[in-house]
Homo-oligomer: A and B are copies of this chain.
């Protein structure tokens, strides 16, 4: 729009160089309105950028927390051979381990995808597909993590009423890490929901 009107203005100037003032006013008014438009676009860009960074940071922390939860639980064997101090004697701890592994894989894949996008500028998936995947992935894993953490809590509580050793402490640490991963993914799911429902990519 600006270009065509500029050329019109130049043409007019060539024809009648005396009538300059009205054109100057026109151009000023136009530049003010276009500045407002540019500002709103810049604001939108900043918001989109902030959301991208926010979801990357949240997914990164979810990755760290679920990796910690997974490692702590996987190393939680202190007897051997079906001893009561092995995590794999109890189905609750096996469930927590499985969900922690799933969450680690999912967040690692998401973080690597987002980093690839940030560094190369190319997107691996089309935008609507990625947004759907983001939202449902985040939401489902948040539900799974809170479910796994909740399941493991009563068993650990029960143990800690009797004895308080490295096995019960490790279980409690793993549960806490899973809970922090849940918090990060729950916040991330909110950002994904916002992105999914706006669907306005500049």
Contact = CB atoms under 8 A, between A and B. Distances in A.
Given A146-B147, A147-B150, A154-B155, A197 B193 contact: yes
Interface in A175-202: 186, 190, 193-194, 197-198
11 contacts: A91-B154, A92-B154, A143-B146, A146-B146, A147-B147, A147-B149, A147-B150, A193-B193, A194-B197, A197-B197, A197-B198
A85 interface: no
Interface string A14-29: 0000000000000000
Contacts of A190: 193
Contact of A151 (B139, B151, B186): B151
A146 B91 CA distance: 18
Contacts of A193: 190, 193-194, 197
A64 interface: no
* Residue among A91, A146, A150 having the largest count of chain B Cβ atoms under 10 Å: A150
A154 B151 contact: yes
A153 interface: yes
Interface in A122-157: 139, 142-143, 146-151, 153-155, 157
A181 to B, nearest CB: 14
A154 B193 CA distance: 32
Nearest to A158: B91
Contacts of A151: 150-151, 153-154
Nearest to A151: B150
Nearest to A143: B146
Contacts of A186: 139, 143
Contacts of A197: 193-194, 197-198
Given A92-B154, A147-B149, A154-B155, 9 more contacts: A91-B157, A146-B146, A147-B147, A147-B150, A150-B150, A151-B151, A190-B193, A193-B193, A197-B197
A184 to B, nearest CB: 14
